[in-house]
């Protein structure tokens, strides 16, 4: 364990930051000192102190409790979005790489180009403008704010993760072991998802880890402009939006602590992703030393 910490100090720090955020969200009902939705106008805009460690907001709600519960919202949405984008992007990129030179590759890569050309915020405005905020029913399914954000952000990550997988699959599809399996009568599905996928997966894993930090920022940005998690649900983005009116009036804690939570969590995922890149790179000296 000490050897791993010495070789990957930044990765260890990233894992620690990510672990704190994840445990805060997972154990929110037990860690939060107060109800994040409980209003107390007599305690509004209280600075950090013994009664409220991080102070209170404009409605008297405990800021520490809202940050802890907000970590659950942010991590759930960002992890779900990256998982969705990874499943879709890796699958499509794998098929496109294996079917190189076919109409299938052309269609998949052009679809990636179209998705890349639409900015996420514009897409979010268009979708929210059509379906509105709040829960929406699609057939037998009810989609809430979280599900809509996961779908939107996940869709935006699909082409990037798909292209990373496509590049690796393109090389692996021409390898000798794939040709040998093909001569043995293996189907293209077996070749793509059993033989090629394990070797094409490490770069996608690294990219997906980095994208969780990006997704946290995207979710906070959409919530900040009113297109994400809707009040009074605790979200780091909505908390920053509420703090806009108090930045220059002396209530510094309302904006500082949610912003710090976003910053530290994103930095944690970036450090963890960089360490994974060093570890999973077969040409890297860090991997050789670790092995």
Query: Which CATH number characterizes residue 286's domain?
Result: 1.10.3720.10
The domain tally of the chain equals 1
Q: Is residue 207 part of a domain?
A: yes
User: Is 9 part of a structural domain of the chain?
Assistant: no
CA atoms within 13 A on the CB side of 119: 4
Give the tens place of pLDDT for each residue, 241-268.
888 888 788 888 899 999 999 999 999 9
Domain around 273: 63-290
For residue 157, being part of any structural domain is answered with yes
Give a yes or no: residue 4 inside a domain.
no
Q: What does the pLDDT read at residue 4?
A: 55
Q: What is the pLDDT of residue 50?
A: 86
Residue 3 lies in a domain: no
pTM: 0.87
| Whole-number pLDDT of residue 5 | 57
* pLDDT profile of the chain (291 residues), mean per 10: 62 89 91 88 87 88 92 91 93 89 90 85 73 67 78 89 90 82 80 84 89 90 82 87 84 90 94 83 49 45
Residue 27 lies in a domain: no
**Does the residue 218 lie in any domain?**
yes
Tell whether 264 is covered by a domain: yes
Q: What is the pLDDT of residue 290?
A: 43
């Amino acid at each position: 364990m000490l050897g791993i910490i010495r070789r990957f100090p930044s990765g260890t720090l990233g894992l620690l930051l990510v672990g704190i955020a994840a445990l805060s969200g997972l154990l929110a009902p037990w860690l939060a000192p107060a109800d994040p939705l409980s209003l107390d106008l007599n305690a509004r805009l209280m600075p950090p102190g013994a009664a409220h460690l991080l102070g209170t907001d404009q409605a008297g709600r405990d800021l520490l409790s809202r940050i802890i519960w907000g970590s659950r919202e942010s991590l759930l949405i960002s992890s779900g979005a990256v998982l969705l984008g990874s499943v879709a992007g890796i699958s499509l990129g794998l098929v496109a790489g294996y079917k190189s030179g076919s109409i299938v590759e052309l269609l998949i890569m052009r679809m990636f180009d179209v998705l890349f050309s639409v900015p996420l915020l514009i897409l979010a405005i268009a979708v929210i403008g059509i379906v509105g905020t709040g829960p929406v029913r699609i057939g037998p399914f009810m989609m809430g704010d979280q599900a809509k954000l996961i779908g939107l952000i996940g869709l935006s990550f699909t082409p990037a993760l798909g292209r990373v997988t496509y590049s690796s699959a393109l090389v692996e599809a021409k390898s000798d072991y794939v040709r040998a399996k093909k001569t043995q009568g293996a189907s293209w599905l077996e070749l793509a998802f059993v033989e090629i996928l394990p070797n094409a997966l490490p770069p996608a894993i690294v990219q997906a880890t980095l994208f969780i930090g990006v997704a946290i920022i995207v979710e906070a940005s959409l919530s900040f402009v009113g297109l994400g998690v809707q009040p009074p649900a605790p979200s780091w983005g909505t908390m920053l939006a509420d703090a806009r009116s108090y930045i220059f009036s002396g209530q510094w804690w309302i904006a500082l602590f949610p912003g710090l939570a976003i910053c530290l969590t994103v930095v944690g995922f970036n450090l963890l992703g960089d360490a994974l890149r060093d570890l999973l790179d077969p040409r890297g000296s860090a991997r050789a030393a670790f092995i």
